[in-house]
Chain A
Amino acid sequence: MKLYCLSGHPTLPCNVLKFKSTTIMLDCGLDTTSVLQFLPLPLVHSPRLSKLPGWVSKDGTINLEKELKECAGRVFVDSQPEFCLPERELLDLSTIDVILISNYHCMMALPYITEHTGFTGSVYATEPTLQIGRLLMEELVNFMERVPKAQSATCWKNKEIQRVLPGPLKDAVEVLTWKTCYSIQDVNSALSKVQLVGYSQKVELFGAVQVTPLSSGYSLGSSNWIIQSHYEKVSYVSGSSLLTTHPQPMDQSSLKNSDVLILTGLTQMPTANPDGMLGDFCSNLAMTIRAGGNVLVPCYSSGVIYDLLECLYQFIENANLGSTPFYFLSPVANSSLEFSQIFAEWLCHNKQSKVYLPEPPFPHAELIQTNKLKHYPSIHGDFSTDFRQPCVVFTGHPSLRFGDVVHFMELWGKSSLNTIIFTEPDFSYLDALAPYQPLSMKCVYCPIDTRLNFHQVSKLLKEVQPLHVVCPEQYTQPPPSQSHRSDLMLELQPPPMPYRRCSVLGLPFRRRYERIHLLPELAKSLVPSEIKPGVSLATVSAVLQSKDNKHTLQPVPKPLPLPPSKKRKRVVEEPPEVLAPKPLLSGSVPLEAFLAVLHKHGITEVKVEETADGHILHLQAEDTLIQLEEDGTHIVCDNNEPLRTTLRDLVLRFLMKL
């Protein structure tokens, strides 16, 4: 069993598991942090961005004025933003049988995998994962296609040139594999390959393994996967949460007794407690509004935003913010808010029970009804007429490189009354803000990541007790910025097996057993004999048939009756001679007793030599060797058949026959 690791990002994993003749891809996360190297895509013409100076190397030998622009001491690529794809050279993607998706954040690279690679397999995901994943992909495509860039920068990727570029562009990895966004056709085609599954539904793959999604508690429809055969069980834990948020709680008990547990998607903010961050978010928001400023919240259009809105729903009354408008801008804002209300079966118990009242499970419905929360597909259209300040705006993309958020950064960045509050943990806020410097608006970093933290993981692992744990190497040491925090790493016995991008891990267990079915007629013919109390054996002669990874023992087909022959009639009538199988021997030869027996038979000069596997007896007078081993005895004697037979019989005395 092997694991191929195609992504180095611990929370956006892409791994391939070869297990029992199947090739299973676990998630296909798209690392979007590469877009931070690019200039933002403004929705309306930005004089500031267009006037940025081009980059020329200090000695003037390299001139990339057209491709690279300088802003506040940093260099950015002026081109359509590109993403860092999962590794595609490590193995042939067309050999992948299935792709298992754990949540909608971990499927954004799907079109790159399923399209134009010869992929012919299927993709398994839950319904909310598919629907919300589709929304996020459509939103991404929309953001990109709305602001097309005429040129595409490639020169800077030249290894020789990249080497002399200023950091962090110089240190960007795998730049040649970076790709621009896929098209909506790719999205549709990729998603058409998705087959829907429900929690705890068992899916057979070629009869060899069974895969089952389990609730992981992180987002709507998010799942962990169990991949098991009759004798092996692999658990894939990705993006799970034990906190009480909107999704169904995590199913922990089904993860028990795994041989291997692949652990990815832990919190990216182990030191930021989501509750504290939520409180900080609310107080900073209230403080800004009270001072007459606006609040900008760059966020994804699904996920944490539901919890933020729920928290604000309770908070705005308490903080006298009832009259402040909240805007949610996204091409898919409406669908996201509505979808969340209809996935009742995927919600936590508390919210499920509301559906039967009937009440909308999320309170944002009430915010919309009372006009406190308004949503628009973009800044164009109705929004511009309804827009009132001071206000709170939720919009994407959290990287601040594309989407409506770029417009608000240009609009509000100059006033220190306004505040931008980062809640998504995926991007470094300093890097995100870099192309907007100098900036007057206040910045607050309240990353809310509800995924498992190290404390919760170690409790979880103590409970489910997997034999081996495989995890990204980042989890096996404290974060580089806090090297003293030994509590921010996985400490396990045996230590976890770390992986990084392009690792190929041989997982530490071998297939030892297979389940084989006996056909009833064959079973009937068996004659077990008891060799010790409670253990009976029988010899089986049969034909093994393997089909679709299922093994069956069938009775030996009777030999075809010989064509009747007149001459040998008598012979034919006799039952055909069936060779009785040779008896099977079991037991061991005790050395002392055996020597005594030899002595009795007149063999006295025996030299005993101890070996790794047993003993060698040298019968010096007879010039014969007897090798006694655990699973075999050899008698080496030249041209003395009577002696050999005698010795054989002496050995057989000590063994049991079946």
Chain B
Amino acid sequence: MIPPNCVMDSECMLLLPRVCAVLADPRQSLPDDTSLEKLLDWLTGLTKEDHGQALLESCPCLLDYISTVCLDKTPDPSMLSFSLKLSGLLAASQHGFSLLQDRSVLGVAYDSERWKGAGLWEDPSVRIGWIHGVNNMLQHALALHFLEQAGLTKPILQLQTDPSLFVALAANHLLAHLLTFHQPTTASHTTQRNGLSRPLSEEGELVETTQASSVTMEILRHLENSLVSDNHTQVLQGLRLLSVTLPQAEAALRELLMSRVLRPLEGLVLAGRRDLTQPLMDVLLAAYRSGPCDSRLVFLMTSMLNSQNSSDAALCAAATLPLDTCPPDLREKVAAVLLEPLQAITGVSLLDRHNDQQTDHRRTDQQTDQMDSDQDKQWDGVSSVLLDHLNKKSSCISLICLCVSNTLAVVHTESCASVLHAVMALLNICNGQSSPSTAVIGYSKAITNLIGCSKVQRCGLDALASLSTCSGAVDLVTDVLRVLLQYLHNPDSDATVVQKSYQAMLRWLNISTEPLYLTPLVGQDLLPVLKKRMCDVRWEVRDSTVEFLGHLCVSGVVSSCTITPILLEALSDQQSYVRASAISALAKSLPLSGQQGAAQDHVEKEAVPRVLHILSQDSEGFARRAVVQFFITWLKTHPLSSSSSSSSAVLRSVLSLGSVDLDWEVKCHTLELVDLLMQETLPGQLGSEPGSAPPPYAVSLSYGGSLGTNNPTHTHSLTSSLPPPPLTRTPAPTEPITAPHLGLSGLVNLGVITALLNGLFDCDRPVALKACSLLLRLRNTVCPRPLGQVAVATDNTTVSEVMFDLSGQVWAPEVILRLAEKRECDWAEDGEGVCDRLVGNCGSSSEACGRWTERSGCGGGIGVCEVLWSLGLEERQSVLSRSSDHVQNSPLSLLQDILTATRAADIEEVIVDCY
């Protein structure tokens, strides 16, 4: 997709006439049709602002091209299709339309008879191009008059039942566009958005004398005929047109439409055609939403709900549910349709039968005799139909799923408890646990269909989860948890069912006002089964168990010291997803461990070395990504300022490992960690990124020497391989850091600068881009402008003295080169003296290059700020922010491609001639 660009550059402007000439030349072989699509996309973007007026003025070649193709008697079908679409696009402005009319192109181009005669109409691409063209053009009154005069309505109506589905769909949309583009209004002589002035009769009714309204009336007549047609496709298309048009129709048009179609719709509803249930319901709902409540409409919807087929009725009921304003009668019927199967299966009383019959009766009084018989269904009759339906496995499952998924939307707060009981009973049935007392006589076959059905189980568990918000749910927590525990215990539970059980359980555990009262249940029943599930053969189950444990930590139902050992065990799981989830779950337990002093130590001592090991050794990216996320959470809950020196050592390890990881997401996450560290180390000085909250951390930062002695040995060995922090000025451990230079040297010590530069020179564009923007922020905030320019920081001399060591880094030569170039440039500008002062004891730039690459360092290292200023970060950022295929995707490239393709074909032909 070519990025929309409203202005054409000069190069394209030069190429376009040649391209048009090539395309219009019938002797040239065609470029592939995706090029035409791309070309059209680009041109569409160009015409967005002014309907192509400017485009036509600057590129008259387009007009020539269209007239050449359309006046040609036998153009290529795909080229014709393109030209039709383009001409519609250009005719969207009145100016463009007139220009095309002046050349009498439009009349020829949109004469469908002409294309039929040429045998081109059979090609669906021509038909669809024709429809798109008309649709594009139809933005102003002139176009409408043209349509009327040229008699285009008839072919459009024919195309509505075209054998090609795409063509038929497009035709339907065009018809809807026609109807809504030129809507009748109730006010007299209003000017519509299309600029047409419409005379109306005194009663405010539509006067059918204008040309425009004759189009509307023609479509309406056709629509009316379609709905009573014997042809299924025609009925279907009619219904589709209605459901597309109604939402956009204003009051007058809606009224007009309804007056014409309501009777045929009644016919269709009462005929009870199963194949039309869905489209009919779409129309009724669209009609209901688009205007005032109409009793006839409500009656039709109620009739749909009375369908003999329970599945259809339930589908209609589910579709009706989202209606905001629903008459109480209809709503009651919807509830009855959706709850009845559930009641039948579970035996839990959900419906007040007496009420239901009364309502039915009242309704029948209001309606005509013909409809009476349909309405007056006996309960037993409905039940036997329902029973037949439930006895078939597939229909039973789909019906029950539909009903259960929609239960929450239909229940009133007062009947919530009974629905909850029904859902629990259903879940027990599915698990093969229902006791004989609750099984309903006659439904044993239906119940057999449900036993062990994981689809229904999932729906039921979802419903159970959402029912936790019901009033009175608190009293049933224990019962619900028992049902859920059975699902967790059942070895046959599908992995997805186990996951849903966990989700539901979490919701129910959280609503309990007194978690203490659940403690025995959790300790004696839940924890053992969780431990067992942690050893499950299926990794999916282990994974969702670990996730659940993480959430359980947060909810506070179980103390984290019970859970952490299980999570630590999961860190050595074979499956990387499980390891990753275990790391995330441990991260969730971090805020809690902050509150529990001893537990925090536990996590630090046990978890940190192990996750660091995973970051350095794990072969799977998921786990390593989770580790970096873990440290992000860790840093958020345990600010550097308040933690021990070992924390800095740990973070240094994370940065050094994470910034050179093989996985680009790990690197991105590492940069997020860097961002956090920068915000914490330089509080209030860095402009935070848009949308991110200001850092809530303390101001002071303590620095340890090397690694903490508390850490287990393998972490030590891991991190001690890193270069020792080349500090020029080590602040005292307790010294609060406020000055930028101290903050900057703190970042250097943590390895932040190295990590950022690792990112900047990374081959993954998102990583480099993120690093670049972070470096820019750091530079602009902390570093003084190079000599001669206004310094940002107050004590620029001290900041510029902060050094870092780049020995052993792969990007060191590049940095040095950049630095050298920068110095040379500065020297040229400012004279040698200045250069000497900057370079200091490192000698001249060219020499320095050689020495730095050979030796490990240059005295005290390289100044951070100087490096940052030498890298040309702004330029890098603009390069990086362009997508890697921006050259190939440019309009220029497209035009060149078209030209080259045709030229290549030419060359080939010449070769053929030679032989």
Interface residues of A (CB under 8 A from B): 271-273, 275-280, 282-287, 290, 315, 317-320, 446, 482-487
Give the residues in chain B near A280, CB-CB below 8 Å.
Answer: 491, 532
- When chains A and B are docked, how far (Å) is the Cα of A512 from the Cα of B411? 66
Give the residues in chain A near B575, CB-CB below 8 Å.
Answer: 318
- Set B435, B490, B535: member contacting A276, Cβ < 8 A: B490
Interface residues of B (CB under 8 A from A): 432, 434-436, 439, 444-445, 447-448, 451, 490-493, 531-538, 569, 572, 574-575
- Take A276-B492, A485-B432, A486-B445 as given contacts and tell me if A283 and B451 are in contact as well, using a CB distance cutoff of 8 Å: no
Give the residues in chain A near B436, CB-CB below 8 Å.
Answer: 483-484
- When chains A and B are docked, how far (Å) is the Cα of A279 from the Cα of B490? 11
- Set A287, A482, A484: member contacting B535, Cβ < 8 A: A287
- When chains A and B are docked, how far (Å) is the Cα of A272 from the Cα of B434? 16
B444 A486 Cβ-Cβ under 8 A: yes
- Take A282-B537, A315-B537, A487-B451 as given contacts and tell me if A320 and B572 are in contact as well, using a CB distance cutoff of 8 Å: yes
A273 B491 Cβ-Cβ under 8 A: yes
B492 A283 Cβ-Cβ under 8 A: no
- When chains A and B are docked, how far (Å) is the Cα of A286 from the Cα of B531? 10
Known: A482-B432, A486-B445. 5 other contacts (CB 8 A): A277-B491, A283-B536, A286-B535, A315-B537, A484-B439
Give the residues in chain A near B536, CB-CB below 8 Å.
Answer: 279, 283
Minimum Cβ distance to chain A for residue B158 (Å): 51
Question: Which B residue's beta carbon lies closest to that of A284?
Answer: B532
Give the residues in chain B near A315, CB-CB below 8 Å.
Answer: 537
A486 B572 Cβ-Cβ under 8 A: no
Question: Which B residue's beta carbon lies closest to that of A318?
Answer: B574
| Interface of A, helix, strand, loop or mixed by DSSP | helix
Give 25 CB contacts A-B under 8 Å.
Answer: A271-B432, A272-B491, A273-B491, A275-B492, A277-B491, A278-B537, A279-B538, A280-B491, A280-B532, A282-B535, A283-B532, A283-B535, A286-B535, A287-B532, A287-B534, A317-B574, A318-B574, A318-B575, A319-B535, A484-B435, A484-B439, A484-B444, A485-B451, A486-B447, A487-B448
Question: Which A residue's beta carbon lies closest to that of B537?
Answer: A279
- When chains A and B are docked, how far (Å) is the Cα of A315 from the Cα of B434? 34
Give the residues in chain A near B535, CB-CB below 8 Å.
Answer: 282-287, 290, 319
Minimum-distance CB pairs A-B, first 3: A276-B491, A286-B535, A283-B535
Give the residues in chain B near A319, CB-CB below 8 Å.
Answer: 535, 574
Give the residues in chain B near A284, CB-CB below 8 Å.
Answer: 532, 535
B492 A273 Cβ-Cβ under 8 A: yes
- When chains A and B are docked, how far (Å) is the Cα of A283 from the Cα of B495? 14
| Interface of B, helix, strand, loop or mixed by DSSP | loop
A290 B569 Cβ-Cβ under 8 A: yes
Give the residues in chain B near A290, CB-CB below 8 Å.
Answer: 535, 569
- Set B432, B434, B490, B537: member contacting A283, Cβ < 8 A: B537
- When chains A and B are docked, how far (Å) is the Cα of A318 from the Cα of B534? 12
- When chains A and B are docked, how far (Å) is the Cα of A604 from the Cα of B447? 72
- When chains A and B are docked, how far (Å) is the Cα of A272 from the Cα of B489? 13
Give the residues in chain B near A271, CB-CB below 8 Å.
Answer: 432
Give the residues in chain A near B434, CB-CB below 8 Å.
Answer: 484
- When chains A and B are docked, how far (Å) is the Cα of A272 from the Cα of B537? 17
Minimum Cβ distance to chain B for residue A485 (Å): 6
Give the residues in chain A near B531, CB-CB below 8 Å.
Answer: 287
- When chains A and B are docked, how far (Å) is the Cα of A275 from the Cα of B435? 25
Most chain B CB neighbours (cut-off 10 Å) among A278, A280, A282, A320? A280
Minimum Cβ distance to chain B for residue A291 (Å): 9
- Set B448, B492, B493, B534: member contacting A486, Cβ < 8 A: B448
Question: Which A residue's beta carbon lies closest to that of B538?
Answer: A279
Give the residues in chain A near B533, CB-CB below 8 Å.
Answer: 283
Question: Which A residue's beta carbon lies closest to that of B436?
Answer: A484
A279 B572 Cβ-Cβ under 8 A: no
Question: Which A residue's beta carbon lies closest to that of B574?
Answer: A318
Give the residues in chain A near B493, CB-CB below 8 Å.
Answer: 276
B445 A446 Cβ-Cβ under 8 A: no
Give the residues in chain B near A276, CB-CB below 8 Å.
Answer: 490-493
Minimum Cβ distance to chain A for residue B243 (Å): 43
Minimum Cβ distance to chain B for residue A457 (Å): 14
Give the residues in chain B near A279, CB-CB below 8 Å.
Answer: 491, 536-538
- When chains A and B are docked, how far (Å) is the Cα of A273 from the Cα of B533? 17
- When chains A and B are docked, how far (Å) is the Cα of A290 from the Cα of B531? 10
Question: Which B residue's beta carbon lies closest to that of A275?
Answer: B492
Question: Which A residue's beta carbon lies closest to that of B531?
Answer: A287
- When chains A and B are docked, how far (Å) is the Cα of A487 from the Cα of B493? 18
- When chains A and B are docked, how far (Å) is the Cα of A484 from the Cα of B569? 42
Give the residues in chain B near A485, CB-CB below 8 Å.
Answer: 432, 451
- When chains A and B are docked, how far (Å) is the Cα of A484 from the Cα of B438? 9
Give the residues in chain B near A287, CB-CB below 8 Å.
Answer: 531-532, 534-535
- When chains A and B are docked, how far (Å) is the Cα of A484 from the Cα of B425? 14
- When chains A and B are docked, how far (Å) is the Cα of A276 from the Cα of B575? 20
B491 A446 Cβ-Cβ under 8 A: yes
Minimum Cβ distance to chain B for residue A630 (Å): 45
- When chains A and B are docked, how far (Å) is the Cα of A317 from the Cα of B535? 12
Give the residues in chain A near B447, CB-CB below 8 Å.
Answer: 484, 486
Most chain A CB neighbours (cut-off 10 Å) among B434, B439, B491, B492? B491
Question: Which B residue's beta carbon lies closest to that of A287?
Answer: B535
Give the residues in chain A near B537, CB-CB below 8 Å.
Answer: 278-279, 282-283, 315, 318
Minimum Cβ distance to chain A for residue B570 (Å): 11
- When chains A and B are docked, how far (Å) is the Cα of A486 from the Cα of B445? 7
Question: Which A residue's beta carbon lies closest to that of B533?
Answer: A283
- When chains A and B are docked, how far (Å) is the Cα of A279 from the Cα of B451? 20
Minimum Cβ distance to chain B for residue A403 (Å): 27
- When chains A and B are docked, how far (Å) is the Cα of A273 from the Cα of B569? 29
Question: Which B residue's beta carbon lies closest to that of A487?
Answer: B448
Minimum Cβ distance to chain B for residue A454 (Å): 10
Give the residues in chain A near B439, CB-CB below 8 Å.
Answer: 484
Give the residues in chain B near A283, CB-CB below 8 Å.
Answer: 532-537
- When chains A and B are docked, how far (Å) is the Cα of A483 from the Cα of B532? 30
Minimum Cβ distance to chain B for residue A628 (Å): 51
- When chains A and B are docked, how far (Å) is the Cα of A284 from the Cα of B444? 34
Minimum Cβ distance to chain A for residue B528 (Å): 9
- When chains A and B are docked, how far (Å) is the Cα of A213 from the Cα of B529? 45
Give the residues in chain B near A318, CB-CB below 8 Å.
Answer: 537, 574-575
Minimum Cβ distance to chain B for residue A313 (Å): 13
Question: Which B residue's beta carbon lies closest to that of A483?
Answer: B436
Give the residues in chain A near B451, CB-CB below 8 Å.
Answer: 485, 487
Give the residues in chain B near A446, CB-CB below 8 Å.
Answer: 491
Give the residues in chain A near B574, CB-CB below 8 Å.
Answer: 317-320
Give the residues in chain B near A486, CB-CB below 8 Å.
Answer: 444-445, 447-448
Question: Which A residue's beta carbon lies closest to that of B435?
Answer: A484
Minimum Cβ distance to chain A for residue B428 (Å): 10
- When chains A and B are docked, how far (Å) is the Cα of A487 from the Cα of B431? 13
- When chains A and B are docked, how far (Å) is the Cα of A276 from the Cα of B487? 13
Give the residues in chain A near B572, CB-CB below 8 Å.
Answer: 320
- When chains A and B are docked, how far (Å) is the Cα of A448 from the Cα of B473? 39
Give the residues in chain B near A273, CB-CB below 8 Å.
Answer: 491-492
Question: Which B residue's beta carbon lies closest to that of A285?
Answer: B535
Minimum Cβ distance to chain A for residue B447 (Å): 7
Most chain A CB neighbours (cut-off 10 Å) among B432, B434, B445, B533? B432
Question: Which B residue's beta carbon lies closest to that of A484?
Answer: B436
Give the residues in chain A near B569, CB-CB below 8 Å.
Answer: 290
- When chains A and B are docked, how far (Å) is the Cα of A406 from the Cα of B38? 81
- When chains A and B are docked, how far (Å) is the Cα of A627 from the Cα of B275? 65
- When chains A and B are docked, how far (Å) is the Cα of A273 from the Cα of B572? 30
- When chains A and B are docked, how far (Å) is the Cα of A278 from the Cα of B575? 20
- When chains A and B are docked, how far (Å) is the Cα of A627 from the Cα of B538? 82
- When chains A and B are docked, how far (Å) is the Cα of A290 from the Cα of B565? 12
Give the residues in chain A near B445, CB-CB below 8 Å.
Answer: 486
- When chains A and B are docked, how far (Å) is the Cα of A286 from the Cα of B432? 27
- When chains A and B are docked, how far (Å) is the Cα of A487 from the Cα of B470? 34
Minimum Cβ distance to chain B for residue A311 (Å): 8
Question: Which B residue's beta carbon lies closest to that of A454?
Answer: B448
Minimum Cβ distance to chain A for residue B679 (Å): 40
- When chains A and B are docked, how far (Å) is the Cα of A486 from the Cα of B444? 6
Give the residues in chain A near B435, CB-CB below 8 Å.
Answer: 484
- When chains A and B are docked, how far (Å) is the Cα of A482 from the Cα of B451? 13
